[in-house]
Amino acid sequence: MRFQAAVVSLLVVAAASGLIILAGGARPADGLHLLYALVAIALVPLARSFLGRASSRRSNLLLLVALVVLGAVVYRLFATG
């Protein structure tokens, strides 16, 4: 639970810093960057919302999938810079 909160907190801080850069006039090279940012912020809480109905093993699997997808999205965020 703490790890998930830490991941979401770091993503929110990263998004806030991105918004500051955006407000300063810099624009992302690719428009998909903004979509990837929204997906990155929403992914862990969305996966967490499904955990109430899942067993412990399924919960762990769901979180693992969410974190792998999150890793891919974060990679794309850096790639679209």
Q: What is the dihedral of CA 24, 28, 32, 35, to 10 degrees?
A: -30
pLDDT in tens, 34-64: 888 788 778 777 777 777 766 778 777 877 8
Q: Which residue has the tokens 């762990």?
A: 60
Q: What is the pLDDT of residue 1?
A: 63
31 closest CA partner among 76, 71, 74: 76
Of the two residues 50 and 65, the one the predictor is more confident about is: 65
pTM: 0.60
Res. 21: pLDDT tops 80: yes
Q: What is the pLDDT of residue 81?
A: 64
CA distance 25 to 43: 27
Q: What is the pLDDT of residue 61?
A: 82
Buried b (16+ CB within 10 A) or exposed e, 19-31: eeeeeeeeebeee
